[in-house]
Chains A and B, each alone.
Chain A
Amino acid sequence: MKFSRGLKDGFPIALGYVSVAFAYAVQTVNQGFPPWFPILISATNFTGTGQFAGTNLIAVGANLAVLIATMLVINIRYTLMSFALAQKLQSPFPLWKRAIIAFGVTDENFAVAIRQPQRLSFPYLLGLMCCSFCGWLGGTALGAGVSSILAQTLTSDSGKAFYEMLMSAFGIALYAMFVAIVVPPSRDDRTILFLVVLSVAASCIFYFVPALNSLPAGLEIIICSVVCTAIIAYFFPHDDAKTPTDVDSAPSDAQRGAL
């Protein structure tokens, strides 16, 4: 399993990442962050949902404990994926190489790596992750660049109005992508549909009930998701959850993008 093979397998992932990262960067700059900020976050985090939630929390000046807890809840699935990957590594696989590979664990990289019939080599994983990471970082830089250039060029009155409408319209981009991730599996699996409906209901309660929406920003994500998922997992345990690789099997790889 060579480096070049990894690069090749990572290419379709990179293409998907460009658009998601682009939307993330545009939204972050539009929130008022300097263009270097989304680039720094993408360079250090390499996770879609986590970056989106974390950036929103920083924007509203959320409590740091809430930030830590939110990131933990959103990213805890990686712990299971890394575990599955660890069983599939060539041996010996020294600790420092594992430490590098760990950074590149994402839903899509995991999905591709775990499907390989043979044990995973360091060069292969490095190629796969480097390629998709380039897409992620490149998409972020592109988004940050384009939105700040547009802000500087459209300076006339109507230009400004146009820019604001464009950026406002872009505000829905990531949300729409997340809808596209959640809806198809909800169509196929009634338990997931039930979980999604329950979660949305809980989220709306937290959003619209005055006493609850004064809670620290971000806390509602943790409370709603943990409680709803616990209820569903208790009453409808997922029967195929026998091997760690199944974490990935629910959303199809092509649709998944930046979970």
Chain B
Amino acid sequence: MNVPVVEMLVGCLIMFAVTYLTKAVTLLFGKKTISNRYVRSFLYYLPYSVLAVMVFPAIVFSTSDLYAGIAGTVVALLLSYFRKGLIPVSLASIATVFAVELLFYFL
């Protein structure tokens, strides 16, 4: 990766501006409620879809080795199915990836 500092700063400024605006606009000027059932449902469901799209399939390629990535993904899916919580799931997933990488390193 070779991103010039100016681009980093511009990117940061844009991220800040958009994030702050979405947080502030109704807090500062909001008067009416959103009553439309479909709009409300859309906003309710959107975060799940965004996360799903961001995670899959990118999670499989998030490490330096495809098999390690797949192993880590399976562990994350299994543990979160049993509601193990953010940190245990994450640590187990990292450990799995690391173990598989070590295995390949010494093979």
Contacts and interface: CB of A to CB of B under 8 A. Distances in A.
Interface of A: 16, 19-20, 23, 31-33, 37, 40-41, 44-47, 49-54, 57-59, 61, 64, 67-68, 71-83, 85-86, 95, 98-99, 101-103, 105, 161, 164-166, 168-187, 191-192, 195-196, 198-200, 202-204, 207-208, 220-221, 224-226, 228-230, 232-234, 236-238, 241-242, 244, 246-247, 250, 254-255, 257, 259
Interface in B57-107: 57-59, 62-65, 68-69, 72-73, 75-77, 79-81, 83-87, 89-90, 92-95, 97-98, 101-102, 105
Secondary structure call for the A interface: helix
Interface of B: 1-3, 7-8, 10-12, 14-16, 18-20, 22-28, 30, 33-34, 37-38, 40-59, 62-65, 68-69, 72-73, 75-77, 79-81, 83-87, 89-90, 92-95, 97-98, 101-102, 105
A58 B7 contact: yes
Given A64-B14, A86-B26, A255-B86, 5 more contacts: A32-B2, A71-B15, A72-B22, A180-B89, A182-B80
Contacts of A238: 40-41, 44-45
B28 to A, nearest CB: 5
A43 B48 CA distance: 25
A74 B25 CA distance: 16
B24 A102 contact: yes
Question: What 8 pairs across the A-B complex have the smallest Cβ distances?
Answer: A32-B1, A102-B24, A176-B93, A183-B80, A58-B11, A169-B98, A83-B26, A199-B52
Contacts of A101: 27
Contact of A203 (B2, B57, B93): B57
Contacts of A59: 1, 3
Secondary structure call for the B interface: helix
Given A73-B46, A101-B27, A196-B48, A255 B85 contact: yes
A257 B62 CA distance: 20
Given A172-B72, A183-B81, A233-B38, A52 B20 contact: no
